[in-house]
Structures are given as C-alpha cells and as structure tokens.
Structure 1
Amino acid sequence: MGKNFLMVAKTLYGLEDLLVKELRDLGASEIEKGVRSVSFQGDTGFMYKANLCCRTAVRILKPISSFNVFDEDQLYKRIYEIPWENHMDSRGTLSVESTVFSKRFTHSKYIALKTKDAIVDRFRDRFGHRPDIDRYHASLHVHIHIDRQIATVSLNSSGPSLHRRGYRVAPVAAPVSEVLAAGLIMLSGWSGQCDFLDPMCGGGTIPIEAAMIACNIPANINRAEFGFEHWPDYDPELFELIRNSALKRVKEFHFKIYARDRDPLAIRKTKANVGEASLEEFIDIQQADFINSEKEDKEKNLFILTNPPYDQRLSLRDVSDFYGRIGSTLKHGYAGSEAWLFAANETALKSIGLKPKKKIKLYNGKLEARLVGFNLFSGTLKARKSTSTS
C-alpha cells in the first residue's frame, strides 16, 4: 500500500456531516470536519476512490505547500519556488482557481492570476516555453486558498467540480446541482427503503441521484475524466482496480422511482439524462401535473422529495398560491406519505399550510434555502390525538 497523505474534500454548506460519514465508510483516517470542507488522510488509491464514490464532495484537494503571505509579490515568489515541473510537463495545460478570506487580499481572481503568472514564469525561465491555460481539461488543476495571511497551495485531483457527474446531457433552467441533490436525499433519510416520487423533476437530477443512492452506484461512474488522470504518477491499473471494486458493491433495488413534471420539455430532458445514466429500469418517467393529483398506489409507502420553483431563478405568477396548492395536494392526495420540499423562499414554504417535522438550512448557489420535511397523516390533527389517547 502507498503512503498516506493529507487531503481536503470541499463540500457545500450543511453537507459536512454527510461527507464525514462517506469518507469514514470508505476507509479514510484522521478525519476532521471544517466549514464546507473535511480534511482526512489516505493513500493514492483512496484519493481515486474518494473522487469516484463521494456523493457530497465538490472536489478533492491534495495540499503541497502552506506558507505565510503578506503581499502579492511575496505570494508570487513563494509560488514560483514550488517545483511545478514535478507535477506537470512544460508543454501541458494549466488551470488555477482560488478562494480568499483575508483583509490583505480581497480579489480571488487576481490571486489566481498572480499564481498562474508565477507558475508559467518558472516554466518559461527553465524550459524556454510555458504551459497553456485550459479551464476544464487541464493537465494540472491548481487550487490556492488564502485564510487571512496563510496561503495553502493544493493540487485539485478532481479537476472540474465533482457535481459534473457526466450524465446531464440535457440541462434545464435553474437546476439543483448533482452534489446538492444527493445531499438533499441523504439528509431526508431516504436510502431506497420504499417508492420515491419527485413530482416536479425538471431535468431529473433528484430521481437520478436517488437511483444511484438506492443501488449504491458510484457517484461519478459516468464522469469522463478526473484531474489526477493527467498527473505524472497516475496509475491506471490501480484506478481500474478501485473502479471495479466499487462496481462490485452495486446492489439491487426492489422499489420504484417516479419522475414527474407537467412540462413536456422537462420530461424529454429527464429521459435523455436518465438514459445517459443507464437508469431507465429504475425510474418511471411521465408527464403529469402534481397539483390536485393523488397517490397512485394508496397501499404502498411513498417518499416525496422535490425542488419546486420558488420565484427566484424561475418566475411564478403567485408563489404563495402555488405553494398553497402544493400543500393542499399533499394533504388530500398523499396521506400516509412522507414529503420533503427544498426551496429558497421562506414565504412560499409557510404558504404550504402544513406543520413541518424538520427544517434544515442549506444554500442553493448563493440563495439561502430550507429543506423542510412533513409527515402526511390521514385525517385531522385533532382526530389523530383523540385516537392515540383512547
């Protein structure tokens, strides 16, 4: 086995505990939770496994240098001193991204540009030519993080964000990201124990992530490439071994996932995305309007999770009325079910008119949002209390 080293998995706000559990279950050691991040230790094979299997990670970083920095010239000098030729060929391609939390440094794009300049200048000075820039398919993805005066330089083993699973060939307006969709499902507690319905499925991201969770399919099995595949020490045989081992853990799923939407274009895009993910046997896709609908099989347990429009990136004529009708449909048509709604409109969620059992604060992009759960009982609350005490 190879030597363990430090890695940092980046995630979304509110998904840190889920990522800790994922990494622990995969076999990571020295796990420490941060804000939107989890640090851990593992070897090269584990780095491959984490990229392939983690549903709630946005990227997996391998730190290579950390130092104090007080101005841009000092940053340039310290970046220049790193032996970048050990990590990529001078005729390769480069991508640099940065995150900055500092009073001294206030512009993340400028920090990324300064970092890029230092790297390419080192190559030019030593080899007479420099790497080109390629944002998505670079030979090396570099990440620099500045927290106050401490700069940490990392190699991004994932490349572009891990929310790019590879199956979304037909995008829709205002989609929920694949990482967030997986997080919503995992936070709700559904893992394949009953039928699942997304009645406003958009492009099908939530149903697809649900199917992959239920069947234990590796999250990024459809991804075209990872950043580490371009590294000089990439071991394709080891990665294939990791990949085959993960696929052996795929399990059967004996229930059904229903993807519904009233928009025929959304349904066509859902079918395209589900087909790209090769999940047609698990996901039933039909055009249907959820409002005033009823549970298709009243004898079966049903779990509902959806990300309805909430008048932010998609406009609604009367958002309160729309959410009121969602609440009425849930109450009268889906008694005996469990329902979870994710929205970035507090007023809209209050208009549902049902008492939530749980609220979880999250973000959808920069929008503060809530994942809200409801138990949909039959009859009135008064009648249920009377029955339970008799």
Structure 2
Amino acid sequence: MSENRRDVPFFMTATTQFGLEEVLAQELRSLGAKIEKIGQRAVEFTGTKQLLYEANLWCRTAVRILKPFAGFYAHDEKALYREVGRLDWSQYIRPEQTFAITAVVNKSTFEHSLYVAQLTKDAIVDQFRNRTGSRPSVDVKNPDIRLHLHMIENDVVLSLDASGESLHRRGYRQQTNVAPLNEALAAGIILLTGWDGKKPFIDPMCGSGTLLTEAALIAQRIAPGLYHQGKFGFQNWPDFDQALWESVQMDARSARIEEPQAYIAGSDLSADYIELARENVVAADLEDYIRLGVRDVKDAQAPAQEPAGIVISNPPYGERIGEETQMDALYKTIGDTLKTSFQGYDAYLFTGNLEAAKRVGLKASRRTPLYNGPIDCRLLKYELYQGTRKAARPESE
C-alpha cells in the first residue's frame, strides 16, 4: 500500500470489560487517539494505521480493536443478504483465506445471532462463487480474517477484527489456578488504583501472580502485545503494512526500561500457587522485577526501608456452599493484617463476596463496580493512615 495512505485517520472501536471504559479511553488518548465516544464496554475513536497497530500492542485493558467498514439497515432476511452482497468482499478477504463471523444482535426483529452470522456468511461465499468460481472457507477456530457483525434494532455495522486472538490472552501465562483474573482485568484494576509504577506494590494473596505480572509490565514500560501468540488479525489484511508494523514493534521493544522501577512482591499460603506464579513470571521474562514467597496472609509485612505504597489482592470469594464462616474468618484476617502491617499504605481488595468483605473492619473510601467473568465484584479502596492503631497497642511494641 502506498505511503500516503498511512496518515489517513479512520474510525475504530476498542472493546473492554464493564467498568474499564474510562481507563481504556485514557490508554488510547496517550497513544494519540481522538476519543469520539465512550460507551458500554467499548470506546470509539479515530486514528491512523499506525495507531491501529500500536493500540493492539500497547492497550492493557482492551479485549479487541475493531475497524468498522460498512453500515446499513436490514428490516428482514432478504435485506440483510442483499446488503451484505452489495459490498465488494474482495477488498477484505482473498479467496484462499479462511474467515469467521461473530454476530451480536440486540433489540432486533432477528431472533438469533447465529442465524444472522450464517446468512452473512452465505452472502459473502455466494459473491465469491459467482464472481470467481472459488470461495474462501470458514474456520471458526483460527481464521485469517475475523468479521464482527453488530446489529441494534436492525441497524447493522460490519467490522474487521484487528486483534485476532483476544488481547487479554497475553501469552505469558503457562497454566493457571482455579479462578485467575484475566490479564486485561488485572491491568485495569491496577490502572484504576492510579499506582505510579514506582511505589512498592504488594500482593499478599497472589495466586498465580497475574496482578504482579501486569504491575511489572506497567512499571517497566513493556507492551503487553509483545507476548501475543501467533499473528494479529490486521497482519492478514490486504492493506497490511509490514514496514510500518516492524517500526512500531521496534519502538515498543526500545521503550522497555531494564532497570527495576518498583519494589514488586507477592506471597501466597500455597507453595503450588507460588510455583505457578514463578513459572508465569519466568515465561514473561520478569524474574528480575518480582519477588515471590510462600507466606500466610496473616504474616504479610510491608517491606522495611521502602516508602509506603499499595497493597492489593484478589482474595477467594468462596462460591461453594458452606464456605461462609471460612470466608468471614479470612476477610477478618486480611483486615487485621492491613491495619497492623501496612500503615500509610493504600489497600485495594477486589472481591465478589461483599458480605465477607464487611469483616475487613475498615471503611472503604471508594467502591468501583467491576465483573470477574459473570461475578458482580467491587474494587474496594482502604486508606490505611499512619497511627490508626497506635492507641490500641502498648508502647513497648
């Protein structure tokens, strides 16, 4: 593609998780995007092809970057088939490529998104067959070209998926414990705290270490997309600019800071989880930046000789029946540890068990609604002032 096409701005949409929209908009702004609209789980923006590549590489809280290319109204099946058939699909898909369609249908006369996807696929395939006698194949698992169809009240928007595999799958995670945070959510939680990437960052119940890993990526200015497995979606597009992509990757690699920027440490009662965390940290090439240890949360300590920072955790929620007393005791222990060992710190708990969270015994100064998968959660902030517990403790301590 000719050089001059690089600088023409176009519309894009970045999708994210509920509650992270403002954080994602800020990430996009810092890359030079012009924000057009912040919606539910999505941010609409304009930018150039370079920005499209950079957004896939750098956005920590994005799930996908989409490039809308067509919109129309379809009052029934015939109209949908006809409008899809009017587009010149050779601009987007080559006959030897595979493709897949994801459809999302809201408040429309069409009942089923699968049916809408099927009809769209038929219209595309029929066009190729009629024009060339050959047709691209459908590959639902690992297609070259992913298309998104979004229909609201029979208004259709078709987009190309620039990301391919979901961006939250960074590729550093070897295996995970039972209920890990996804990486985009972990990064979002950290960015919501406003952590500066310099102060100490402590996770006393770190599980397989996702919060710690994402914190180290932020502190060391490492682009999460550098871990992406396989190709990004845009690499299979007809207008893919190899030279531009190589320069964007080179810039990202040279942005990395080698010198450790922050004291980042995590511990967990389970030696197995710490082993898992270690494997993930090594896979991400971050072992120089993260300290890990086996320790009960009640024994967690702020590091001596370090200024106050943030302590952050995603404790178990206790989804199983009969775990209430256990959870109440655990959250009370967390509260006691925060009060005695982390004075002067800001503490953040991300939890889906709001009943147990009352046992922490501290008043939350902020409560941010988020979801962990289907679980309605809160990110609770506690400000642990110096001297909150002084009166209760004898001087000799």
Identical residues among aligned pairs (%) = 40
Give 2:22's aligned residue. Answer: 17
Of 113, 120, 138 in structure 1, the residue corresponding to residue 143 of structure 2 is: 138
- 1:301-380 residue pairs with structure 2 within 5 A? 301-312=308-319, 316=323, 318-380=326-388
Query: Which residue matches 1:246?
Result: 252
Are 1:123 and 2:128 matched, yes or no?
A: yes
Structure 2: how far apart are the matches of 1:62 and 1:381? 54
> Where do 5+ consecutive residues of structure 1 fail to align?
385-390
State the Cα deviation string for residues 239-292 of structure 1 (Å, max 9, x = none).
010111223322343322112222222222211211111111001122222134
Contact 1:93–1:133, Cα closer than 8 Å, also in 2: yes
Give the Cα separation in 2 of the matches to 1:346 and 1:73.
49
Q: Could you tell me which amino acid in structure 1 is paired with residue 294 of structure 2? A: Q
8 Å CA contact 2:29, 2:35 repeated in 1? no
Task: Please identify, of 234-243 and 328-337, the stretch whose mean Cα deviation from structure 2 is larger.
Answer: 328-337
Moved over 6 A (4+): none
- CA distances 1:266-322 after superposition (whole Å, capped 9, x unpaired): 222211211111111001122222134333427532311111110238994622222
SS of alignment partner, residue 24 of structure 1: helix
Pair 136,221 (structure 1): closer, same or farther in 2 beyond 3 Å: farther
* Alpha-carbon distance in structure 1 between the residues aligned to 2:356 and 2:214: 25
Aligned to 1:27: 32
Quote the Cα distance in structure 2 between the aligned partners of 1:125 and 1:174.
Answer: 49
The verdict on how the C-alpha distance between 1:299 and 1:210 changes in structure 2, with shifts beyond 3 A counting, is closer
Residue pairs, 1:1-390, within 5 angstroms? 1-224=6-229, 225-251=231-257, 252-297=259-304, 300-312=307-319, 316=323, 318-380=326-388
Q: Is the 8 A contact 1:163 1:178 kept in 2?
A: yes
What CA distance in whole angstroms lies between the structure 2 residues aligned with 1:218 and 1:136? 26
Calculate the aligned-residue CA RMSD, in Å.
2.2
2:297 aligned counterpart, secondary structure: coil
Gaps of 5+ in 2: 1-5, 393-397
**How many residues matched?**
384
Corresponding residue SS for 2:226: coil
Quick one: distance in 1 between partners of 2:124 and 2:320? 38
Would you say the 8 A contact 2:20–2:61 is kept in 1? yes
CA contact (8 A) 2:145 2:160 kept: yes
The answer as to whether partners of 1:258 and 1:283 remain within 8 angstroms in 2 is yes
Residues 316 and 351 of structure 2 are in contact (CA less than 8 Å); yes or no, is this contact kept in structure 1?
Answer: yes
**3-state DSSP of counterpart to 2:224:** coil
SS in structure 2 at match of 1:291: helix
| TM-score, normalising length: structure 2 | 0.90
CA contact (8 A) 2:366 2:380 kept: yes
**Offset from partner CA, 1:158-177 (integer Å, 9 cap, x none):** 11211011111222221111
Question: What is the aligned partner in structure 2 of residue 387 from structure 1?
Answer: none
Query: 2:55 is paired with a residue of what secondary structure?
Result: helix
